[in-house]
Structure 1
Amino acid sequence: MDYNKLATVFRTLALEAGDKIMEIYNADDFEVRSKSDDSPVTAADEAADVLISAGVRAAFPDILLVTEEQAATHSDTAGTFILVDPLDGTKEFIKRRGDFTVNIALVENGIPTRGVVYAPAKGRMFFTDAQGASVEEQGPFDREERGDTTPLRVKAPNNDALVVVASKSHRDQATDDYIAKYNTSDMTGAGSSLKFCLVAAGEADLYPRLGRTMEWDTAAGHAVLRGAGGDVVRFDDHLPLTYGKPIYENPFFIAYAPGVDLRPA
């Protein structure tokens, strides 16, 4: 695997997709439709998917591509594959809240090893470099040349005063009940895979998700968190969250900085 090429291609495609998404986001209006699972989809999801898919398949024709917007790929499997969510946080996009991301990840033997998470409306770009270490690039962004980057590292948590991040659109009583098991100093909400990145950047310690997610929702953020020294485990037994599961569906999970005293389910 040419990880230098991978990092460059992922970053460039994320920026190009982000530009396309923002064109639609800034329009006076855009159509919102429902998919077969009743989840929303917009022209931005579809346009970004076409762009990213074409770029990935041209650069890495021998690697399986699995993307949210192409249902035919959801039954394909391989030991190494690329996972794409062209617009993660569609509900945030529709509400014009800005917490949406472009997610592109490489999975190897069940582990997301490389990834990029780009939040175009917030001007934040997180990715793993060729060595697998995570960085945040400072904008403004140039497609041709990478800007200055800051290494990402999870912080050492204080279990008497944890910072917890949870979903804006999918918060429920079960999540609140679980968070109540911890001693917290601050609670913040965020959309999409940005929650993983906040833990990776040391801006939060813990992100529990007690709700349905798919692997394309989490792989890129998971890779960024891994590259910053963090981890993601299953909610029920605290075993590692792995990828390539049937229909690419995740169980409930916990993303965290090592040192957090994880509470039982």
Structure 2
Amino acid sequence: MNHEELVSVMRRLSIEAGTKIMEIYEADDFDVKEKSDSSPVTAADEAADALISAGLREAFPDVDLVTEEQAESHTGAGDTFLIVDPLDGTKEFIKRRGDFTVNIAYVESGVPVRGVVYAPAKGRMFYTTATGKTVEEAGPFDPETPGETTPITVRTSDNDALLVVASKSHRDQATDDYISKYKVEDMKSAGSSLKFCLVAAGEADLYPRLGRTMEWDTAAGHAVLLGAGGKVVRFDDLTPLTYGKAEHANPFFIAYAPDVELKETN
């Protein structure tokens, strides 16, 4: 895989998809449908998916593509593939809360090695460069011409005063119970894969997820965090979270800066 070309294409497609998403987001109204798993889907999900999947298939025809909105893509991929969530945080989108992202990632041998997370309503974009290091690009965002980028890295964590981020729409008692094991200075909520990016940018130390997620929800944010020096491990045994699982369902996991002293999970 040519990582220069890969990053350029993923970045461009995420911005183009973000533009389509914002056109629908800023409209007076938009339709919301229900998928077979009872999760919501909008015209924005579908438009962004069509644009991104066409662009990736044209640029990388020999690489398997997994995308949330195309059920037929969910089987058959090996451990190296492109994976897309065209609109992560659909519930946030529907509620017009802004915490939604475009997620595109490349998984190699089960590890998300390159990824882009673009939050068009927030005006924030994070991605791994061709060398695997993570940057945040400043807007306005031109799909053809990258703007000014700033390298980001996880912060040096103070275990007596941790910054914790958790899901805005999927917070539960089990998550709160686990967080209570830590000395927390500040707690914030965020939607979509932005939680990974907040840890990557040094704006949080710890993001535990004790709830259902799919690989397309996490791969891009996971890549961004890895490129900033962070880690993502399974909640059950604290081994690295890997990709290419059957049906692409994740176990519970913890994303964190390496200085965080992880607590027991049982």
TM bucket, shorter chain: over 0.9
Question: What amino acid is aligned across from residue 217 of structure 1 in structure 2?
Answer: D
Question: What amino acid is aligned across from residue 139 of structure 1 in structure 2?
Answer: G
Question: What amino acid is aligned across from residue 186 of structure 2 in structure 1?
Answer: D
8 Å Cα contact 1:112/1:243 also seen in 2 = yes
Question: What amino acid is aligned across from residue 146 of structure 2 in structure 1?
Answer: R
Deviation at 1:79, TM superposition (A): 3.0
Deviation at 1:13, TM superposition (A): 0.1
SS state of the match for residue 122, structure 2?
coil
Question: What amino acid is aligned across from residue 104 of structure 1 in structure 2?
Answer: I
User: Residue in 2 aligned with 1:34?
Assistant: 34
Supply the distance in 2 between the matched residues of 1:57 and 1:102 (Cα, whole angstroms): 17
8 Å Cα contact 1:114/1:223 also seen in 2 = yes
SS state of the match for residue 232, structure 2?
strand
Question: What amino acid is aligned across from residue 73 of structure 1 in structure 2?
Answer: S
User: Residue in 2 aligned with 1:99?
Assistant: 99
Backbone CA RMSD of aligned residues = 0.5
User: Residue in 2 aligned with 1:74?
Assistant: 74
Supply the distance in 1 between the matched residues of 2:44 and 2:200 (Cα, whole angstroms): 27
Supply the distance in 2 between the matched residues of 1:140 and 1:181 (Cα, whole angstroms): 41
User: Residue in 2 aligned with 1:57?
Assistant: 57
Question: What amino acid is aligned across from residue 47 of structure 1 in structure 2?
Answer: A
Supply the distance in 2 between the matched residues of 1:144 and 1:42 (Cα, whole angstroms): 27
User: Residue in 1 aligned with 2:263?
Assistant: 263
Supply the distance in 2 between the matched residues of 1:262 and 1:112 (Cα, whole angstroms): 22
SS state of the match for residue 102, structure 1?
strand
**Which moved further from structure 2: 198-207 or 136-145?**
136-145
8 Å Cα contact 1:126/1:137 also seen in 2 = yes
SS state of the match for residue 163, structure 1?
strand
SS state of the match for residue 28, structure 2?
coil
SS state of the match for residue 11, structure 1?
helix
Question: What amino acid is aligned across from residue 231 of structure 1 in structure 2?
Answer: K
User: Residue in 2 aligned with 1:90?
Assistant: 90
User: Residue in 1 aligned with 2:195?
Assistant: 195
8 Å Cα contact 2:214/2:249 also seen in 1 = yes
| CA displacement, residues 81-111 of structure 1 (integer Å, 9 cap, x when unaligned) | 0000000000000000000000000000000
Question: What amino acid is aligned across from residue 99 of structure 2 in structure 1?
Answer: D
Unmatched 5+ stretches in structure 2: none
| CA displacement, residues 28-63 of structure 1 (integer Å, 9 cap, x when unaligned) | 000111100000000000000000000000000000
Question: What amino acid is aligned across from residue 191 of structure 1 in structure 2?
Answer: G
User: Residue in 2 aligned with 1:46?
Assistant: 46
8 Å Cα contact 1:66/1:76 also seen in 2 = no
| CA displacement, residues 134-154 of structure 1 (integer Å, 9 cap, x when unaligned) | 000001111111010010100
Supply the distance in 2 between the matched residues of 1:26 and 1:142 (Cα, whole angstroms): 20
TM-score (ref. length: structure 1): 0.99
Question: What amino acid is aligned across from residue 22 of structure 2 in structure 1?
Answer: M
Q: Which runs of 4+ in 1 moved over 3 A?
A: none
Supply the distance in 1 between the matched residues of 2:76 and 2:92 (Cα, whole angstroms): 29
Matched, 1:135 2:173: no
8 Å Cα contact 2:65/2:77 also seen in 1 = no
| CA displacement, residues 208-229 of structure 1 (integer Å, 9 cap, x when unaligned) | 0000000000000000000000
| CA displacement, residues 109-164 of structure 1 (integer Å, 9 cap, x when unaligned) | 00000000000000000000000100000011111110100101000100000000
User: Residue in 1 aligned with 2:214?
Assistant: 214
Supply the distance in 1 between the matched residues of 2:77 and 2:149 (Cα, whole angstroms): 34
8 Å Cα contact 1:230/1:256 also seen in 2 = yes
User: Residue in 2 aligned with 1:20?
Assistant: 20
Percent same amino acid at aligned positions? Answer: 74
SS state of the match for residue 264, structure 2?
coil
Supply the distance in 2 between the matched residues of 1:152 and 1:3 (Cα, whole angstroms): 19
Matched, 1:172 2:172: yes
TM-score (ref. length: structure 2): 0.99
- 1:244-255 pair list within 5 angstroms: 244-255=244-255
Supply the distance in 2 between the matched residues of 1:63 and 1:141 (Cα, whole angstroms): 27
Question: What amino acid is aligned across from residue 152 of structure 2 in structure 1?
Answer: L
